[in-house]
Amino acid sequence: MSDPASATAPASAPDSSTPAASDLLKPPATPPTTPEAWEARRVELIGDPHFRNAYLSGDIEAQKRMKEVFAGLNPKVDLATAEGREYAARQEALTPLKMTSALPPEFWDGLARGTPVTLAERQWALETKEQCFKDKGWVRKVLDGDREATALKTRFNAIIASRVGSAEEVARYREAGNKFLNGGK
């Protein structure tokens, strides 16, 4: 049985700057070395419908490429500590959501850290979810894979699933997260 991703992937045109999906399933000759280069690679992969379909269909090579990209984008942690290993494992577990939702690094960091939310944020998320699911057009967008609609769905579901903390506790978590994401500054 042949690989479904390679069977449907078109060959690259000689003068085309767009790689074939099968090319995107291979690691780059030179891996990115900066956050900007990793982000460009993420945008390239997510932007290619053949790669995206391969990833969402469970293609092992596509999943490997995305794990590499998000490992390059995720903040570096000390894997010698239990906290560092737990954070890295949570970031890795979020990879499928990152693939379908265009949300900022601060959002993913907050989820990986277990940052609490305020009561007002929880209320917003519950109300927004209720409104969105009453809108058949929005539901259709989510089912069709619209990245903005999916990002909103991911955001409100994550807020609903998070524990509620005091405003002071939430501020402390976010300040620590921002400091961590900015290299301790």
- 59 within domain boundaries: no
- 121 within domain boundaries: yes
- 114 within domain boundaries: yes
| pTM (predicted TM-score) | 0.60
Domain span at residue 150 reads 104-185
Rounded to whole angstroms, the Cα distance separating 160 from 128 reads 11
- 55 within domain boundaries: no
Q: How many domains are contained in the chain?
A: 1
- 129 within domain boundaries: yes
- Highest-scoring range by mean pLDDT, 64-68, 73-77, 112-116, 150-154: 150-154
Q: pLDDT tens digits, residue range 10-65?
A: 333 334 444 444 566 666 667 777 777 877 887 888 788 888 888 878 888 888 88
pLDDT value of position 13: 38
